Amino acid sequence: MAPIPLPAEVLHYVAERRCDDGGYCFYRLPEPNAADTHFALAIQARLGTVLPDPETVAFLRSLQRPDGSFPNIFVADHVLAGLALLGGTPLHDPAEYLLSHLATLGDHERPPEQLSALEGVRAALRACRLTGTPYDRETHDGILCHIRSFRHPDGGFGAGQSTLGETADALEVLTLLGRPEEAARAAPFIASAERPEAGFFFLEPVAALVRACHLLGRPLRSPGQVRSFVLGLRHHAGGFVRSRFGGAPTLEFSYLAIETLVLLDRDADPSPRGDPPEPLRYR
């Protein structure tokens, strides 16, 4: 089943946001960035249309420093994920940078520009998986201890009280660490947070709810209502907005919307989806 009707309109929206150097920018100025580029490629991949693009590969590679590091862990995640979607590789091994980030966890403050205090560790672990970067038992135990420190008695996770975004991030980290039994303890919070009778207003918590349920293998109570809400965020420009109250579409919201629709369709059809991608290899 196609994740959305009229996918050509979304692909047109994405294509119009490609810059001359191969990167993407949601506000259509020549100011591409790693996040928008990754989101654009992920949308194309989810709709089955990602194509080789040497200019985009070159743009993403240009965001890594010669010592293998990146401006921050989020740029690293977006660059490495974007390259993986294009079948490209980074020019420099990022292992030392990724492992150094995982070795210095400990901040419990939620940065003002983020919805989750656990986005950073999730990004670092995803990047390690993409690049085949191994970590030792001490690092594994340190990550697990860090994640556990965010758990609340209701089973959820959060820098303050439990939130859907931080709980979904924690579940993804626990899944990557091979701790499904700990992830399963979040089921009561997820069940209490799913209140379809109250309606849905913003995309991010809905996307987090669907991601959390997918990771737990827990069916949504109202998948049709969730799907209708997400489809209702379609903008006439072809992308998706954040809220039912309107606003401007972005590549990030469009990616979140399509990823949510794909997960809804995947959970409705449990047939095998193929093997995971091969880890990146370095030159």
pLDDT reported for residue 104: 86
Q: Which residue pairs, CB below 8 angstroms and at least 24 apart, start in 109-116?
A: 109/159, 110/159, 110/160, 110/166, 115/163, 115/165, 115/166, 115/204, 116/163, 116/165, 116/166, 116/168, 116/169
- CATH 1.50.10.20 domain position(s) in the chain: 7-197
Under 8 Å between Cβ of 15 and 238:
no
Element spanning 263, H or E: helix 251-268
For the beta carbon of residue 126, count every other beta carbon within 10 angstroms: 18
* pLDDT tens digit at each of 283 positions of the chain: 445 667 999 999 999 999 999 999 999 999 999 999 999 999 999 998 899 999 999 999 999 999 999 999 999 999 999 999 999 999 999 999 999 999 988 666 566 566 799 999 999 999 999 999 999 999 999 999 999 999 999 999 999 899 999 999 999 999 999 999 999 999 999 999 998 776 789 999 999 999 999 999 999 999 999 999 999 999 999 999 999 888 899 999 999 999 999 999 887 765 443 333 444 433 3
pLDDT reported for residue 273: 39
Does the domain at residues 7-197 carry the CATH identifier 1.50.10.20?
yes
pLDDT reported for residue 111: 60
pLDDT reported for residue 271: 47
Q: What is the DSSP-derived secondary structure letter of residue 115? A: S
pLDDT reported for residue 166: 96
pLDDT reported for residue 246: 82
Element spanning 230, H or E: helix 223-231
pLDDT reported for residue 6: 75
Burial class (CB in 10 A: 0-12, 13-18, 19+), 202: middle
